[in-house]
């Protein structure tokens, strides 16, 4: 199995124009071909063709699934539709991790979708952890330029030895390039792909102010267009034998593919997304990190938009037609999003 290239493949502030970017073309698979249930088995519903799976959170439990294999680098993707209405305290996660194998020095790459009270949007957080570096959180948070509850949207993670890139609907929204200064903080060990929905009432919405209200449940997150592209490995065998070179051919093919080439058009689309939708960045969080991380590309014009806490200075509610005699909507803190 080792060494084989396997394809198991804000309120709306501004709508980001992404039509100029070509769609990412990867082979998708049925659930049985690449995944297995992880927990909450009775809350996992699979479609008749086995290409769509829904995860439920109710009073009894959340639910989740995991890839059948671990991968040394790759491209991991799914189209996801999130729960609607009141979703405070609910977290839907799509991520790679090896925490089950390397408990104290695990690697992790996250999309975390954070629910909200009625009338406020879902927020999306990306995380990058390497070698157990959870105390040095590299979190960024965004609002989406669409309603993620009405239809499916694609979220993807590209992980190579050179960089990590997060995509939303095939638009790159974050790139973390490996540098010598990052050392072991860059994810380097084989990881599995996970998808989960769970109760995170203690922190997910306004720092735990709003909790999951199960009268609005069950909360259903649906996944389709499942894709896994990468080199399947046995992590213990690979690390003990030094056989990481067995994935060299697969890694080279991935690095040479269109997926990994950051064209000028991709860079421009990423900059537009971040300018219009990013509401928190660890790179501007001077309270937690007085010295920016080595991979942070600090832009003075961008930095002025953020507080020392890393949060956007102002974010505005969705504009509505004012009633006669009413006052304009007041700006709200991005931290409350």
Q: Which of 112, 246, 251, 295 is catalytic?
A: 112
Residue 190: is its pLDDT beyond 90? yes
Residue 1: is its pLDDT beyond 70? no
pLDDT band at residue 297 using 50, 70 and 90 as cut-offs: confident
Percentage of the chain modeled with pLDDT above 90:
72
Nearest Cα to 275, choosing from 9, 1, 2, 17? Answer: 17
Residue 228: is its pLDDT beyond 60? yes
Tell me the mean pLDDT in the region 169-189.
94
Residue 287 CB-half CA count within 13 A = 8
Residue 273: is its pLDDT beyond 80? yes
Helix ranges (H only) for 212-329 are: 235-241, 248-256, 264-277, 300-303
Q: Which of 108, 140, 251, 295 is catalytic?
A: 108
Phi-psi region of 265 (alpha: psi -120 to 50; beta: other; left: phi over 0): alpha
Contact (Cβ atoms closer than 8 angstroms) between residue 75 and residue 235: no
Residue 333: is its pLDDT beyond 80? no
Whether 112 sits among the annotated catalytic residues: the reply is: yes
Residue 321: is its pLDDT beyond 90? no
d(CA 39, CA 263): 40
pLDDT band at residue 318 using 50, 70 and 90 as cut-offs: very low
Residue 3: is its pLDDT beyond 50? no
d(CA 223, CA 168): 14
DSSP H or E run through 239: helix 235-241
What confidence tens digit (pLDDT) does each residue in 27-45 have? Answer: 999 999 999 999 999 999 9
pLDDT band at residue 238 using 50, 70 and 90 as cut-offs: low
User: Which of 1-5, 30-34, 232-236, 287-291 holds the top average pLDDT?
Assistant: 30-34
What confidence tens digit (pLDDT) does each residue in 45-60 have? Answer: 999 999 999 999 999 9
Whether 103 sits among the annotated catalytic residues: the reply is: no
d(CA 41, CA 26): 28
Tokens for 334, please give them.
């991005």
d(CA 57, CA 214): 9
d(CA 38, CA 293): 34
pLDDT band at residue 240 using 50, 70 and 90 as cut-offs: low
User: Which of 234-238, 268-272, 300-304 holds the top average pLDDT?
Assistant: 268-272
Residue 6: is its pLDDT beyond 70? no
């Amino acid at each position: 199995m080792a060494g084989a290239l396997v394809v198991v493949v804000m309120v709306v502030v501004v709508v980001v124009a992404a039509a100029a970017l070509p769609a990412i073309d990867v082979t998708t698979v049925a659930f049985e071909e690449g995944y297995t249930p992880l927990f909450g088995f009775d809350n996992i519903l699979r479609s008749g063709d086995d290409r769509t799976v829904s995860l439920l959170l109710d009073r009894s439990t959340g639910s989740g699934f995991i890839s059948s294999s671990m991968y040394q680098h790759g491209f991991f993707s799914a189209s996801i539709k999130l729960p609607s209405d009141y979703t405070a305290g609910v977290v839907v996660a799509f991520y790679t991790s090896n925490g089950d194998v390397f408990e104290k020095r695990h690697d992790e790459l996250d999309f975390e979708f954070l629910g909200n009270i009625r009338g406020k949007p879902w927020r999306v957080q990306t995380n990058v952890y390497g070698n157990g570096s959870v105390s040095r959180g590299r979190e960024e948070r965004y609002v989406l330029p669409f309603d993620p509850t009405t239809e499916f949207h694609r979220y993807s993670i590209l992980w190579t030895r050179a960089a990590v890139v997060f995509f939303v609907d095939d638009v790159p929204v974050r790139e973390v390039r490996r540098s010598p200064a990052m050392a072991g903080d860059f994810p380097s060990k084989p990881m599995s792909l996970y998808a989960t929905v769970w109760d995170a009432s203690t922190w997910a919405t306004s720092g735990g102010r709003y909790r999951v209200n199960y009268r609005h449940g069950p909360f259903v997150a649906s996944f389709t267009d499942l894709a896994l592209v990468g080199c399947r490995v046995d992590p213990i065998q690979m690390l003990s034998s030094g056989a990481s070179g067995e994935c060299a051919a697969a890694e080279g093919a991935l690095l040479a593919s269109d997926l990994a080439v950051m064209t000028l058009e991709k860079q421009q689309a990423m900059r537009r997304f971040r300018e219009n939708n990013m509401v928190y960045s660890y790179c501007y969080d001077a309270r937690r990190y007085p010295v920016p991380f080595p991979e942070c590309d600090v832009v003075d014009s961008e930095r002025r938009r953020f507080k020392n806490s890393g949060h956007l200075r102002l974010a505005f509610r969705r504009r509505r037609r004012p009633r006669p005699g009413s006052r304009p909507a007041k700006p709200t803190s991005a931290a409350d999003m």
